[in-house]
Structure 1
C-alpha cells in the first residue's frame, strides 16, 4: 500500500477546511493509512480555528486537535503531493487549478466528491487513488448537480439581485447567521465521503 493523503482547501483555513480535515481524520481513523491535512488559498498563517468548530464536539481528542490547528496558505507543492484535493467550493477549486494546473484531475469540491463517489468499492488497496479514478470516471458521464430552477425562482433572483446558489459548493458563511448551515453541509458531505472510503464514522457528544 502506498502512502495516501487528502488535502482539504477553503479560503482562510479556519472553518470549512479544518472542520472537514478533523471529521475525515476522525471518521477514517489512524489505521486507514491516509494522511489528512488542510490549507487556505487566502489564509493568514497562524490563525486559529473558528470557535464554533472548536466546540462542535466535547471530547478531549476533538478539543486537542482543534486547539492545535493553525491556518496555513496552500501551495502548489502541497497540491501536487496530495492524492486528492477537496475544495470547499467551485471558485476555490478554480483558484487551485490556476495554482497547480497539472493536478486538476484529482481536484473536486467536497460536495462533488460525495455526489460522484456513490458505488465506490471501498475494499480497494490504494483507496484514495482508486477513489479519485472512480470520481473522475463518474464526473465524465454524470449529469451535473443542479439546483431547482423554475421560471419563478429565476424571476425572483432577477428582482432580488441574488446569484443562483451552486449545488457543488459550500458557501463561506463564517461569522454570519448561516454559519451553522455551512458546518452542517460540511458534516453531511464528509460523512458520505467517509462511508464511501469504507471508514465508519464515529460519533461523539
Structure 2
C-alpha cells in the first residue's frame, strides 16, 4: 500500500482545484491507493464548491464529494507531505515555492504536468514518484517560454494558448462568461494526467 498524495491548489479552492480533485478521484477509482486533496492560497475558509462544478455529474459519489467539499487554506505541511503538487496557474505555483521552497521540485501546473507527462507509463505502487521524476526531467530539458517567436511560440501552440496568455496556466474565470471554458480546461488536463497515471475518465452520467 502506498501513501502517495496528490495535492491540487488554486486561489479560492471552490472551482479549479476541487474540480481537479474530484475528477482525479473519479478517474483513479475508489480502490486507488493514491489520495487526492485540494486547497487554496486565498480562501474564504469553509466556502462550498461552485455550483457549476457540483452539477457536472449527478451520480451519488460525485454529488456526495461535491456537497462535502469546503474551501481550505493550503499549509506548508500539506505541501511538504504531498508526492506531487498540481497548481491551477504558474503564479500560484510561485506562491507555493515561496511558502515551501524545499518542495519546488514536485510542483507543476496542471497543464504543465499534462504536457510534460507525455510518454509516461507505469503501474508501480510508487508511480507518482516515478511520474514526478519524469516530469522533472522533461522540465529540465524544456526551453523557457519567450515573448514571441522561436521555441516559445511552438510551446504555446502545443498548449493551445494564445500569445498573450500563459499556456501553462488555467485562468480563474469563476463567475464570468469564460467559466465553462475554465472547467473544460481543467477536465481536459486531468483526463490527460489520468491516462498517464493509469487511471481512466468515466463518461458523464
Structure 1 segments of 4+ aligned residues over 3 angstroms from their partners = 143-150
Where 1:63 maps in the other structure, the secondary structure is helix
Q: CA deviation at 1:145?
A: 6.2
Greater mean alpha carbon deviation, residues 117-126 or residues 106-115: 117-126
What is the root-mean-square deviation of aligned Cα atoms in Å? Answer: 1.9
| Counterpart in the other structure of 1:154 | none
Distance of 1:84 and 1:39 partners within structure 2: 13
| Counterpart in the other structure of 2:33 | 33
Structure-2 change in CA distance of 1:127 and 1:180 (3 Å): same
Distance of 2:80 and 2:102 partners within structure 1: 8
Structure-2 change in CA distance of 1:115 and 1:147 (3 Å): farther
| Counterpart in the other structure of 1:188 | 188
Report matched runs for 1:7-156 at 5 Å. Answer: 7-144=7-144
- Which ranges of structure 2 fall in alignment gaps of 5 or more residues? 151-162
Q: CA deviation at 1:31?
A: 2.1
| Counterpart in the other structure of 2:175 | 175
- Which ranges of structure 1 fall in alignment gaps of 5 or more residues? 151-162
| Counterpart in the other structure of 2:159 | none
Distance of 2:25 and 2:138 partners within structure 1: 25
CA contact (8 A) 1:145 1:168 kept: no
CA contact (8 A) 2:87 2:110 kept: yes
Structure-2 change in CA distance of 1:122 and 1:171 (3 Å): same
TM-score, normalised to structure 2, is 0.90
